[in-house]
Homo-oligomer: A and B are copies of this chain.
Amino acid sequence: MRATLGSSRQNGARKQPSQARSKALVDALIQTTARILLRDGWQALTTNRIARAAGVSVGSLYQYFPDKEALLLALVERIADEMTAHLIEVGTSLHDASVDEGIAKLVRVALDVSRRDAPLYRAVLVELPRQGTLELFDRVNRRLADALAEWLAARRDELDVVDPSLTAHILVTSLDALTDHTLLFRPELLDSPRFERELRALVTGYLGVRRPSPVQPCPPRERSRRRRTRTT
């Protein structure tokens, strides 16, 4: 829910690691950064420490990252990219999904993503300066929102959606924020089916899912009616 659905651009890395060796080095640095952040927190996250723990020299660190910030950004990006690996499925599989399926998928993926690397992700959320981080995660959300908007638009007749783009933004943001908050303050809820059900209810309710009533079609609900006639 917070990963670049596509690929990442040249982050400020000084040099694109072309050789395998370089790639390994960059990986080691990023992973070590994650490890230290996790184990010892933001305070302990110094470039010298990272380099030593990664088994390289500070100089090497600066060969591949112009900045400490760049390294941090790379870490966040990596997380974002791992999130993408999950979201991308949804983005594509959403296409043919029925309304209920789509909603279930959406909710499920939001939860999965939070649970997958909860501790690291939590550490990043809590300890890292958000300056550049936010945009990264937002980009992920935007792409998911775009995919979702498309899907919503395609199912307009079954749903109570006027502005798919705004609705998608609201949905994605809600889910994102809910899982984040829950990760931070009620981590135990993350695994409860009850919580998942509520999230689905939230989405379902918001989308005003219309059930085909075979005999006596219910008149559209107040809210829906109002919504449909309004102009934004």
Contact = CB atoms under 8 A, between A and B. Distances in A.
Contact of A166 (B129, B198, B207, B210): B198
Contacts of A221: 211, 218, 227-231
Interface residues of A, number: 57
A15 interface: no
Interface in A115-171: 125-127, 129-131, 134, 138, 163, 166-167, 169-170
Copies in the complex: 4
Contacts of A194: 163, 166, 232
Interface string A210-232: 11010010111111111111111
Most chain B C-beta atoms within 10 Å of own C-beta, residue among A42, A130, A138: A130
A44 interface: no
Given A170-B198, A173-B178, A213 B225 contact: yes
A81 interface: no
Contacts of A42: 129
A157 to B, nearest CB: 14
A52 interface: no
Interface in A158-208: 163, 166-167, 169-170, 173-174, 176-178, 180-182, 184-186, 194-195, 197-199, 201-202, 204-208
15 contacts: A170-B202, A174-B177, A174-B202, A177-B178, A202-B202, A204-B205, A204-B223, A205-B206, A209-B223, A211-B222, A213-B222, A221-B229, A222-B230, A223-B230, A223-B232
